Structure 1
């Protein structure tokens, strides 16, 4: 490669742990490393193994294969110039070579689930050439939270205990012991050679206005003598009792698991079989085991997000219903339902004994909407009977009043809320205690969700023989449907985004109107809906999703760059959100059923295959052309909505 390719790759392990890096093999983020272990799944993610710095010696000549960014701007060594090929599938695989030799390296994370599952990473090097070679692999390790950088100092000591075919490792911090882990290898001789590597530089963190320097520790290196055609396999694992795994068998086991999981699931829109398989695999990457509930959860995005209620429920139809993973859908809905409190569903799950956070107005309404979609797909009426009391609790909380002054306005039946210093819709950026898009009062998509929830409740009550409540829910739905007319802005042919507590409507053109049209039950007239879609097509639609604000608005920001202050101000003020492509397509198909989609999905699919993180979809894109990908490189609801469109 003549240029250093900083597009990214990602492996996940079903526990919240992951491995990530760049195609050019240089770490550009704090989140890049080969073993980001989820010590309390899916949380407590900790960098243990950053990478192995490799060199190859043949006939007395040595080639340094690594590539690193250093403080001051130096890039060294220049191993990327020896890279001949990279393949992201079926696993990340690099091929270096020159003249008459080649060296391949593959990485693989075995999938785990449950209390006994282990965080592991497999590494395999395979040599081809005309004479014997010596491969040296220097360990670069850490013991730090995945959000932070490590600084070498006397207060952190790394201990090691070498054995013939494996190594025990553990950091000892001033105030606590680090995580014990092991490294095993199939061939080679390990040499203790301890020192710090100072001043690694992470350019992506500099671009985001965050800490960008790190020190990594090296306890030693492995020397492996390889004949042409020979391989060496290494396994890093949290805990003890390490047993080396066969690389190909581990890959095959995961391939078989996924084949069984997605057997018979086919897209309605024609795409290649290999691309469809990659999309299904991408969807599974976000499903993780949560130890505190002994059940499934959904990681909102990699590399830095945790599991969130709103994101999980919006992503669930694409990740679990479109893919017919009904048991997964049932488990997720059951877990969130059990945590319902005062009519709200948590937006953040608890770790161990900590309390959930209920800082979302819409998670509970998305729970009802998603439960309805699940029941329509499965006819699982026993599950409805089990969770009908939860749905009634949500109704009671929203009508009688709950946290954040969320309540039903007795005058029109619409849902309103009020609070200072908080933002509890999905547009939730808060900067220095001030919400960027506060949206207090009556947000349009919240009341569309409320209408749909009332329709679901009426139907469920009728099915369960609760006729009095069924009539009440239906009456409330009719009231809300009439009141939704307050959102119509005749002059713009669009919906007001929010009606403030003092009844002032917000005329800004945002994509929340499209979310409102995409729900199972829609309370807006067809003529208004068609007008809204036309305006959104002209003002908000891009090849990668919908802008969060009309470019003609004075507050519009077309690029998502800079430090946290600039990025947070741009987050919902023009930035394109890729997940919104799903609501737009569903709304268009509903209200323009005989007209072709006004968006070409090919750029979206090209992004999935060859941009940002190969084999996933970015969280956001710049509002301005060329709509560069930004934010998290792999986002659950973005992948989910793409699958939902295709199915």
Structure 2
């Protein structure tokens, strides 16, 4: 029985099918993304969306969509679907869908009278190329197929509209055409595995509308250019493969290429396999050999904090230690460049955030548990040593090591933590001074480094770190723990933030905690009562002032809600780790029940992955980026922890 399969009743009901999206990626950051009925609802949607570094740092939609048309006995049935201004859907090809299945590759079955047509889609791993295979399963008479490509040639942040500047010229190539609408863009090559006729009938389709952009308060309409259509006959049992790419290929290789790509796909036939598949979609390889973890799709790049938090779950938890090492090789280069005050030569954003080196230590710590301390010392011992020294010598431009052993951040008017939303140029959640997760990470880093130094025979260095950790521990409890049993979010002189936020969970979840068992239980209990949802921890308790759990509306409205009550699965991962560490096997069934809330998401929002965040109130709708690395990573890490505590 298929895991990710949807029947005709759901597919033909746009209220149910349009909110479900599907993402396919390759290793360059290019992707194909739309809804499961192939109706684009975001400006980020498209069949071929690729980076164009010659223009800017954004992705660009080259091929927006491809409309197939089945012709029998002179009657044409268009299988495409677009939303136009005024709420009109045309042509309405979704009504011909019989079923949709994406356990292996996205597969749609269309029935048009006596015609049964199967469509399968893959995105080539190491080329910017989308491949679509059409197979005629049944037909009782001569059948012809037509294909109309809708072209955009624009940034994912913009729209295109009918204009006289667009270049309408095209060139015939093997079994297809190449075209380029604007200077600076790569040519788009559209080819078929079968000989066909291209009919040049240039036309602008005006007023296409993207409802997801409307929901988010943005402009939402554009015009798309269709240069004409391809036409060919197809026989029962025959397969025809369409390829769209930034490079030309030989049509004869398309059948084998498609088969090879299908064979390399990891299945999505259960919850775990869905997450593994999603994990691989965040892999990013640069031409210079650098490896990265993208923070999410469709609009995030590689961000330093996100990469270090996501890295263990996306690699070590699924036994892919080699990719951890490749990513760390690139990340270490960038981190060292930053610590040495040199310009970054790697494409990692936000390396300057104060907690980034601390999260790097945490990632190294997870590697030590997976690969062994000896290999960890060999690969990352010097980096660990240098990061600790970097903070002890007060070299970070935005962190100071105080005499009490705590790290102090002067962040007035700045957003330096993961709670980084801004409104009118100011942080929505202003956090400065002694910040709770910074210092929980710092204590954990000191203790881990002390153990590693001791095992390396550096006893004097280990003792120095232990002494600093002891001061840090005492000051941490004195500074953050209040009489109600939870931790202040930050303390800056006389400014104390009493808000109940999830950042205190790290002081319980990390391997080395400055809290004793009773204090940990108190913190965990408050998180459970006030922050826990089926989709992770809320970013703010409903009892705290400013609670704003619904991430909806225009940008300014969403900014005010981003960290003011929304729920985050990656925080839930650390919460569940804390549960298992404190209560061990007695909480196994609770953790399993909590994971059910994430498995439900495999069938909603973007199939087989997890979105960026959820509303903090029921029904806990998924919001933001359709696929988010830290969330996928932490659920995978929780599944791994669950198995370890079972046996």
* Normalised TM-score (structure 1): 0.91
Name the CA distance, whole Å, in 2 between partners of 1:311 and 1:207.
Answer: 26
User: Any gaps of 5 or more consecutive residues in structure 2?
Assistant: 1-10, 641-647
The residue number in structure 1 matching 2:355 is 362
Deviation at 1:204, TM superposition (A): 0.1
Asked whether the equivalents of residues 537 and 571 of structure 2 are also in contact (C-alpha less than 8 Å), the reply is yes
The residue number in structure 2 matching 1:409 is 402
Asked whether the equivalents of residues 271 and 599 of structure 2 are also in contact (C-alpha less than 8 Å), the reply is no
Asked whether the equivalents of residues 607 and 617 of structure 1 are also in contact (C-alpha less than 8 Å), the reply is no
Name the CA distance, whole Å, in 2 between partners of 1:579 and 1:31.
Answer: 24
Find the residue that maps to 1:190 and give its secondary structure: strand
Does 1:335 find its partner at 2:330?
yes
From 176, 182, 191, the counterpart of 2:189: 182
The residue number in structure 2 matching 1:121 is 130
Asked whether the equivalents of residues 342 and 393 of structure 1 are also in contact (C-alpha less than 8 Å), the reply is no
From 434, 458, 467, the counterpart of 1:466: 458
Does 1:284 find its partner at 2:280?
yes
The residue number in structure 2 matching 1:115 is none
Asked whether the equivalents of residues 408 and 434 of structure 2 are also in contact (C-alpha less than 8 Å), the reply is yes
Asked whether the equivalents of residues 558 and 574 of structure 1 are also in contact (C-alpha less than 8 Å), the reply is yes
Name the CA distance, whole Å, in 2 between partners of 1:472 and 1:158.
Answer: 70
Does 1:518 find its partner at 2:514?
no
Name the CA distance, whole Å, in 1 between partners of 2:551 and 2:166.
Answer: 37
Deviation at 1:276, TM superposition (A): 2.7
Q: Indicate the RMSD between aligned Cα atoms, in angstroms.
A: 2.4
Does 1:555 find its partner at 2:546?
yes
Deviation at 1:130, TM superposition (A): 1.2
The residue number in structure 2 matching 1:92 is 106
C-alpha spacing 1:200/1:545, structure 2 compared with 1 (3 Å): same
From 295, 300, 303, the counterpart of 2:298: 303
Name the CA distance, whole Å, in 2 between partners of 1:170 and 1:222.
Answer: 17
The residue number in structure 2 matching 1:493 is 485
C-alpha spacing 1:431/1:484, structure 2 compared with 1 (3 Å): same
Does 1:373 find its partner at 2:380?
no
Asked whether the equivalents of residues 59 and 155 of structure 2 are also in contact (C-alpha less than 8 Å), the reply is yes
From 423, 441, 445, the counterpart of 1:449: 441
Name the CA distance, whole Å, in 1 between partners of 2:101 and 2:381.
Answer: 48
The residue number in structure 1 matching 2:569 is 578
The residue number in structure 2 matching 1:267 is none
The residue number in structure 1 matching 2:639 is 646
Name the CA distance, whole Å, in 2 between partners of 1:181 and 1:610.
Answer: 33
The residue number in structure 2 matching 1:65 is 79
Q: Structure 1, residues 494-551: CA drift from partner, whole Å, max 9, x if none? A: 1111112x14321111111112211121121110111111111111111111100001
Name the CA distance, whole Å, in 2 between partners of 1:507 and 1:591.
Answer: 25
Find the residue that maps to 1:494 and give its secondary structure: coil
Name the CA distance, whole Å, in 2 between partners of 1:345 and 1:450.
Answer: 20
Find the residue that maps to 1:560 and give its secondary structure: coil
Q: Which moved more, 1:234-243 or 1:517-526?
A: 234-243
The residue number in structure 1 matching 2:645 is none
Deviation at 1:148, TM superposition (A): 2.0
Deviation at 1:383, TM superposition (A): 5.3
Name the CA distance, whole Å, in 1 between partners of 2:482 and 2:598.
Answer: 36
From 15, 21, 45, the counterpart of 1:32: 45
Name the CA distance, whole Å, in 2 between partners of 1:602 and 1:366.
Answer: 24
Asked whether the equivalents of residues 234 and 244 of structure 1 are also in contact (C-alpha less than 8 Å), the reply is no
Name the CA distance, whole Å, in 1 between partners of 2:383 and 2:568.
Answer: 31
Name the CA distance, whole Å, in 1 between partners of 2:455 and 2:521.
Answer: 33
The residue number in structure 1 matching 2:644 is none
The residue number in structure 2 matching 1:228 is 236
Asked whether the equivalents of residues 459 and 470 of structure 1 are also in contact (C-alpha less than 8 Å), the reply is yes
Find the residue that maps to 1:322 and give its secondary structure: helix
Asked whether the equivalents of residues 570 and 634 of structure 2 are also in contact (C-alpha less than 8 Å), the reply is yes
The residue number in structure 2 matching 1:156 is 166
User: Any gaps of 5 or more consecutive residues in structure 1?
Assistant: 113-117, 260-271
Asked whether the equivalents of residues 171 and 179 of structure 1 are also in contact (C-alpha less than 8 Å), the reply is no
Does 1:606 find its partner at 2:616?
no
Deviation at 1:275, TM superposition (A): 3.4
- Greater helix fraction, Structure 1 or Structure 2: 2
Asked whether the equivalents of residues 477 and 514 of structure 2 are also in contact (C-alpha less than 8 Å), the reply is no
Does 1:508 find its partner at 2:522?
no
Deviation at 1:595, TM superposition (A): 2.2
C-alpha spacing 1:248/1:90, structure 2 compared with 1 (3 Å): farther
The residue number in structure 1 matching 2:225 is 217
Deviation at 1:229, TM superposition (A): 2.1
Q: Structure 1, residues 206-226: CA drift from partner, whole Å, max 9, x if none? A: 101122112211112111212
Name the CA distance, whole Å, in 2 between partners of 1:49 and 1:492.
Answer: 57
Deviation at 1:158, TM superposition (A): 4.0
Asked whether the equivalents of residues 131 and 228 of structure 1 are also in contact (C-alpha less than 8 Å), the reply is no
* Normalised TM-score (structure 2): 0.91
The residue number in structure 2 matching 1:191 is 199
Name the CA distance, whole Å, in 2 between partners of 1:359 and 1:460.
Answer: 26
Q: Which moved more, 1:51-60 or 1:538-547?
A: 51-60
Q: Which moved more, 1:529-538 or 1:598-607?
A: 598-607
Deviation at 1:308, TM superposition (A): 1.0
Deviation at 1:432, TM superposition (A): 2.5
Find the residue that maps to 1:613 and give its secondary structure: coil
Asked whether the equivalents of residues 303 and 351 of structure 2 are also in contact (C-alpha less than 8 Å), the reply is no
Does 1:392 find its partner at 2:382?
no
